[in-house]
């Protein structure tokens, strides 16, 4: 399928909805707007805030304040707090949850004009800039939110001119003034000027994350280098700093592209790109009836955009800038203007959320525009039952639509006078054509699962965000999100739908005759079923399918040549040829849309076969560091295979911290140990990244650090996130007193299902640390004294943790045995073999004696059947399921050997089948009699 162009549309009428709370009064006017994922908040001349839900746009509440007219308002990222500035220069912090209330007022900018507000990503600080170049920060804490103390504020910077725009990403604050632009590292309390040339005017700046395509392009400069030199970051993921860029506006319609160090990487020039007619905004018929008139007379269009003022990121991959009556959408990756328009009222303020652009005009009206692909717009209008608008969109973008559905025959769109079908029936085939393209695109989830042919509509995507379709051959295809339900059946038409029958004479036969083929491909039957044009396409697909199958046959042979006895040079050459062949197959057939699923499955299958063969046949000596030889390419390829097979379900919180996903034993664990050993000698960062991807490897890395005497306190949070008893039993006994506060804080966040790094709700309230299991692991490895110290420290710092009685039973019995010279850990694990038939077997005499003693101690009846039956077991519980009889070497739970006699345990702790003892006439432990 060909790429779909972009269009600005306006089909949501929000103006009347936003004015409902003040429609009865002429005294109150709206002064500013801010939009978040869930809310729209408006400031007013009365000083009050008006809060709305964003989708659907509905009024929630008014928050009365008396600090004066509001000039700017900003919702925090967690949507729990709102910051606002007033006309007299004060800044107010208002809590929204659990109830709306004023919690703090800052007068740091009193009698000045606040020009910009910006929250940090954790919603704990608000940065304020004014017209004198002063920037201050207000710090929130739990005491501030609860109203116990005033939020402290302090001046952060004093610059030479008015602040135009503030932006925040990671721990960097971006400041754009009338003359210069600065990037500030808030963690290091340092700032750096961007570039050396000054400017004079309103110029914006913003952060923007690189697209996946750009990250791939930057990872190498030529094809061979891309194959042979694979860095650890390219396998596990780029660092946050590497994935973020700064764009700073310059005079003459230019943009600086800057890294986080403040270094200007390149300058983009857009002056010539605007010398084209502006794009029209597609408006719904509902909008046209209430919109203010804009001069639409035909004239020579002269670009009205003189400078890029404020910059915003829209749809995650484009930049938006505006003047009084113009909007400009920029693609910074390709250094191109996607579209620009001057068909707007005078813009006073703009806000962006994902693909939605909210405009507040100087006359007090509001508009909501959407940046989307043409196909998404058509489906959105259809699924919201705006059928006339959907039809108009099809006609307006007729040429684009024909290219989109790849029809080689002319579809008769000109004659719409003789159609007698209903509008929905006419549009349905077009919608099916568009949707089918997106049903066939495999999508990789955060968990690593790849969904193919999901069956959802084009609109079935997450949270209103455009994301790059990485499986698409076209760089400009956009995947959109779900805002409506799946396709409705045509028979379920409501009363409103039936009212449009009177206007059906405007329909066209061409759309009615469009039909999707049953196999879901993009081929169509045109004008009553003429199939001649689809025959060449089918032959092309059949030929490509046969080509794929023939191309992969040599790969199977090549993979089978991987042997552990190969020299390093031969191994490197074979790996290079395999990777090269896989890439060539991908590139050769990537443009055939109908075969994308087939191609993906074939390539993925051969790739996993290659990964298994490589890890099974790699020699440990090859992974060792060698003097005078470079084996880095082989090592990196082994790393890629190991991470792919073990870390495909890796995911992160929005703060970049790994999310909990269990710590199962890794495949090819010996390879993982060798990789950890090698990377621990080269770079701690690389080793930590590897362990984050495969948490089971923390066990190996921590032991290496301890053996070398290195500090591991900084790894505490990452280890706690694994919830792995073995990992925690290694690191927690080494925790110093001041680090137990970190453990307590993390444990509290786990109980409430929050990220232990940023506190964001992860929704996982079940997976917690098994403190009894950790204590058992310490007992088995370190002994009773280390376990007692750990439990003592844990009891002091973590009073809320609960320990099972089995750990105390194990400690008591282990201590008793130790006093008698028998060093063995006794485990009382009722969740293990406690429910098995032969887990604890006791003779009748011992059973009666134990029952009588317990009844006296407990002063209540005791069921003597809990002790089992069989030979005397010296008061010990023995794991019969996992043990074997030393005499016959068969499992202690072998029924035919157990018979009615059961198991006998000697004081040394070794257990035998009683039948074996009788048969062999053994009266003492056979193992000790051999000594």
pLDDT in tens, 260-288: 988 999 998 887 767 677 888 888 877 75
Q: Provide the β-strand partners of residue 129.
A: 116, 135
Of 767, 779, 778, residue with least CA distance to 721: 767
At 514 the pLDDT is: 37
Taking CA atoms, 134 is separated from 111, 156, 349, 761, 846, in Å, by: 13, 8, 22, 35, 84
In the chain, what percentage of residues exceed pLDDT 70? 73
At 205 the pLDDT is: 93
Q: Provide the β-strand partners of residue 451.
A: 443
**893-913 pLDDT, tens per residue?**
887 788 777 888 887 778 888
DSSP string, 113-159: -EEEEEE-TTSSEEEEEETTSEEEEEE--HHHHTTSSPPPEEEEEE-
The bridge status of strand 282-283 relative to strand 6-10 is parallel
Query: Rounded CA gap, 374 and 362, in Å?
Result: 30
Question: Running DSSP on this structure, what letter comes out for residue 884?
Answer: B
Which residue in the block uniquely carries the two structure tokens 């405007």?
Answer: 506
**578-614 pLDDT, tens per residue?**
988 888 888 888 778 778 788 888 888 888 889 888 9
Q: List b or e across 392-424, with b for residues whose CB sees 16 or more CB atoms inside 10 angstroms.
A: bbbebbeebbbbbbebeeebebeebeebeebbb
Whether residue 513 contacts residue 528, with contact meaning beta carbons closer than 8 Å, is answered with yes
Of 650, 652, 648, 645, residue with least CA distance to 675: 645
Question: Running DSSP on this structure, what letter comes out for residue 446?
Answer: T
Burial bucket for residue 707 (CB in 10 Å: 0-12, 13-18, 19+): exposed
Range with the largest mean pLDDT of 77-81, 374-378, 455-459, 921-925 = 77-81
CATH domain 1-158 topology: Methylamine Dehydrogenase; Chain H (2.130.10)
pLDDT for 878 beyond 90: no
Query: Is pLDDT larger for residue 640 or for residue 880?
Result: 640
Query: Rounded CA gap, 508 and 513, in Å?
Result: 9
Whether residue 436 contacts residue 520, with contact meaning beta carbons closer than 8 Å, is answered with yes
Taking CA atoms, 334 is separated from 41, 213, 270, 274, 319, in Å, by: 35, 11, 11, 15, 12
Of 715, 718, 693, residue with least CA distance to 705: 715
Range with the largest mean pLDDT of 42-46, 674-678, 894-898 = 42-46
Task: Give the CA diameter of the chain.
Answer: 113
Query: Rounded CA gap, 303 and 273, in Å?
Result: 10
Banded model confidence at residue 756, pLDDT cuts 50, 70, 90: confident
**462-477 pLDDT, tens per residue?**
434 444 333 333 333 3
| pTM, 2 dp | 0.51
Which run of H or E residues covers position 585? helix 568-589
At 379 the pLDDT is: 83
Which run of H or E residues covers position 393? helix 387-396
Name the phi and psi angles at 253, rounded to 5: 55, 50
At 304 the pLDDT is: 54
Encoded tokens for 317: 């991959």
CA torsion 674-675-681-685 (nearest 10°) is -150
Which residue in the block uniquely carries the two structure tokens 């320990």?
Answer: 803
Whether residue 659 contacts residue 755, with contact meaning beta carbons closer than 8 Å, is answered with yes
Mean of all residue pLDDT scores within the chain: 75
At 480 the pLDDT is: 32
Query: Rounded CA gap, 622 and 646, in Å?
Result: 21
pLDDT, average across residues 108-115 = 92
At 320 the pLDDT is: 92
Query: Rounded CA gap, 344 and 287, in Å?
Result: 13
Query: Is pLDDT larger for residue 643 or for residue 141?
Result: 643
Question: Running DSSP on this structure, what letter comes out for residue 293?
Answer: P
Query: Rounded CA gap, 244 and 760, in Å?
Result: 22
At 230 the pLDDT is: 41
Of 456, 432, 427, 431, residue with least CA distance to 443: 456
Q: Is 8 helix (H, G, I), strand (E, B) or coil?
A: strand
Output helix, strand, coil percentages for the chain, rounded to the nearest 5.
Answer: 35, 20, 45
Encoded tokens for 103: 């919690």
Whether residue 205 contacts residue 168, with contact meaning beta carbons closer than 8 Å, is answered with no
Which residue in the block uniquely carries the two structure tokens 């349905």?
Answer: 428
**Domain covering 844-929 in this structure, CATH number:** 3.30.40
Encoded tokens for 109: 């900018």
Encoded tokens for 565: 């006895």
Encoded tokens for 138: 């207000």
Whether residue 806 contacts residue 833, with contact meaning beta carbons closer than 8 Å, is answered with no
Encoded tokens for 140: 């929130």
- Rounded to the nearest angstrom, the gap between the alpha carbon of residue 245 and the centroid of all alpha carbons in its chain is 19
At 428 the pLDDT is: 65
Banded model confidence at residue 724, pLDDT cuts 50, 70, 90: confident
pLDDT for 764 beyond 70: no
pLDDT for 298 beyond 60: no
Query: Rounded CA gap, 695 and 698, in Å?
Result: 6
Whether residue 227 contacts residue 165, with contact meaning beta carbons closer than 8 Å, is answered with no
**474-497 pLDDT, tens per residue?**
333 332 332 223 333 333 333 333
pLDDT for 16 beyond 50: yes
At 674 the pLDDT is: 87
Query: Rounded CA gap, 567 and 569, in Å?
Result: 5
Range with the largest mean pLDDT of 201-215, 329-343, 479-493, 871-885 = 329-343
The answer, yes or no, to whether the previous bond of 56 is cis (omega within 30 of 0) is yes
Q: Provide the β-strand partners of residue 269.
A: 254
Q: Show me where the domains of the chain are located.
A: 1-158, 176-344, 389-462+469-531, 844-929
Of 34, 63, 59, residue with least CA distance to 46: 63
Strands (E), 795-847: none
Q: Is 510 helix (H, G, I), strand (E, B) or coil?
A: helix
Taking CA atoms, 727 is separated from 651, 690, 723, 897, in Å, by: 20, 15, 8, 39
Cα angle 872-876-878, degrees, rounded to a multiple of 5: 95
Query: Rounded CA gap, 30 and 40, in Å?
Result: 13
713: CB partners within 8 A, 6+ apart: 735, 736, 739
């Amino acid at each position: 399928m060909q790429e779909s162009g972009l269009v600005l549309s306006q089909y949501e009428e929000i103006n009347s909805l936003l004015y409902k709370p003040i429609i009865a009064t002429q005294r109150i006017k709206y002064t500013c707007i801010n939009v978040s994922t869930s809310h729209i908040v408006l400031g007013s001349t009365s000083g009050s805030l008006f809060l709305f839900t964003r989708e659907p746009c509905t009024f929630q509440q008014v928050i009365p304040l008396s600090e004066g007219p509001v000039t700017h308002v900003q919702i925090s990222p967690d949507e729990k707090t709102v910051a606002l500035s007033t006309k007299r220069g004060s800044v107010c912090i208002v809590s929204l949850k659990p109830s709306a209330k004023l919690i703090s007022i800052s007068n740091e900018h009193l009698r000045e004009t606040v020009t910009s507000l910006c929250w940090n990503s954790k919603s704990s600080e608000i940065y304020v800039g004014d017209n004198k170049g002063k920037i201050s920060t207000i710090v929130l804490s739990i005491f501030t939110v609860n109203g116990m103390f005033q939020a402290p504020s302090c001046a952060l910077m004093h610059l030479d001119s008015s602040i135009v725009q503030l932006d925040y990403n990671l721990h960097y604050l971006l400041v754009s003034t009338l003359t210069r632009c600065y990037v500030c590292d808030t963690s290091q309390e340092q700032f750096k000027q961007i570039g050396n040339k000054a400017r004079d005017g309103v110029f914006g700046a913003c952060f923007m994350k690189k697209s996946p395509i750009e990250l791939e392009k930057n990872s190498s400069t030529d094809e061979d280098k891309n194959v042979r030199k694979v860095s650890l970051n390219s396998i596990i993921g780029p660092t946050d700093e590497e994935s973020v860029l700064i764009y700073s506006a310059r005079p003459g319609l230019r943009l600086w592209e800057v890294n986080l160090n403040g270094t200007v990487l390149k300058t983009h020039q857009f002056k010539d790109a605007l010398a084209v007619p502006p794009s029209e905004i597609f408006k719904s018929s509902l909008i046209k009836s209430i919109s203010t008139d804009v001069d639409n007379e035909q004239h020579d269009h002269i670009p009205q955009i003189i400078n890029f003022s404020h910059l915003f990121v829209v749809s995650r991959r484009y930049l938006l800038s505006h003047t009084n009556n113009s909007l400009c959408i920029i693609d910074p990756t390709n250094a191109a203007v996607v579209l620009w328009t001057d068909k707007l009222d005078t813009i006073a303020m703009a806000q962006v959320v994902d693909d939605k652009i909210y405009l507040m005009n100087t006359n007090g009206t509001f508009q909501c525009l959407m940046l989307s692909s043409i196909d998404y717009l058509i489906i959105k209008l259809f699924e919201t039952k705006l059928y006339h608008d959907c039809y108009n969109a099809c006609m307006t973008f007729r040429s684009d639509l024909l290219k989109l559905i790849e029809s080689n025959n002319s579809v008769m769109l000109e004659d719409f006078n003789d159609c007698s079908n209903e509008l929905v029936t006419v549009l349905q085939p077009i919608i099916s054509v568009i949707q089918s393209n997106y049903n066939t695109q495999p999508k990789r989830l955060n968990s690593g699962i790849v969904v193919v042919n999901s069956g959802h509509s084009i609109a079935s995507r997450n949270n209103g965000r455009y994301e790059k379709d990485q499986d698409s051959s076209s760089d400009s295809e956009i995947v959109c999100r779900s805002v409506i339900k799946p396709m409705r059946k045509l028979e379920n038409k409501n009363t409103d739908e039936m009212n449009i029958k009177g206007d059906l004479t405007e329909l066209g036969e061409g759309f009615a005759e469009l039909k999707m083929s049953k196999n879901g491909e993009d081929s169509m039957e045109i004008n009553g079923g003429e199939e001649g044009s689809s025959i060449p396409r089918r032959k092309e697909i059949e030929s490509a399918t046969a080509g794929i199958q023939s191309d992969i046959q040599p790969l199977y042979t090549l993979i089978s040549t991987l042997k552990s006895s190969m020299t390093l040079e031969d191994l490197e050459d074979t790996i290079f040829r395999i990777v090269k062949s896989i890439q060539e197959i991908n590139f050769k057939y990537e443009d055939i849309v109908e075969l994308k699923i087939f191609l993906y499955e074939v390539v993925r299958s051969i790739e996993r076969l290659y990964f298994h063969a490589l890890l099974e046949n790699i020699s440990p000596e090859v992974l060792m560091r060698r003097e005078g030889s470079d084996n880095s390419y082989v090592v990196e390829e082994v790393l890629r295979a190991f991470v792919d097979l073990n870390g495909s379900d890796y995911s992160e919180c929005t703060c970049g911290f790994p999310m909990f996903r269990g710590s199962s034993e890794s495949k090819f664990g010996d390879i993982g140990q060798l990789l950890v050993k090698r990377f621990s000698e080269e770079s701690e960062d690389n080793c930590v990244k590897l362990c984050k991807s495969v948490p089971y490897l923390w066990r190996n890395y921590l032991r290496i650090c301890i053996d070398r005497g290195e500090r591991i306190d900084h790894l505490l949070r990452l280890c706690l996130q694994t919830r792995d008893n073995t990992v925690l039993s290694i690191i927690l006994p080494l925790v110093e007193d001041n680090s137990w506060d970190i453990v307590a804080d993390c444990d509290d966040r786990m109980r409430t299902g929050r990220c232990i790094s940023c506190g964001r709700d992860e929704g996982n309230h079940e997976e917690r640390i098994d403190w009894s299991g950790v204590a058992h692991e310490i007992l088995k490895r370190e002994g009773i004294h280390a376990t007692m110290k750990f439990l003592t420290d844990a009891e002091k710092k973590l009073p809320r943790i609960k320990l099972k009685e089995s750990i105390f039973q194990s400690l008591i019995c282990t201590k008793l045995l130790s006093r008698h010279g028998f060093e063995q850990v006794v485990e009382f694990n009722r969740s293990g073999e406690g429910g098995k038939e032969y887990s604890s077997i006791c003779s009748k005499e011992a059973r009666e004696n134990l029952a009588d003693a317990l009844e006296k101690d407990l002063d209540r009846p005791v069921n003597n059947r809990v002790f089992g039956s069989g030979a005397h077991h010296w008061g010990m519980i023995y794991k019969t399921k996992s043990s074997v009889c030393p005499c016959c070497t068969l499992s202690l739970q072998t029924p035919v050997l157990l018979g009615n006699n059961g198991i006998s345990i000697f004081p040394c702790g070794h257990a035998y089948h009683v039948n074996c003892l009788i048969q062999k006439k053994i009266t003492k432990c056979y193992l000790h009699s051999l000594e």
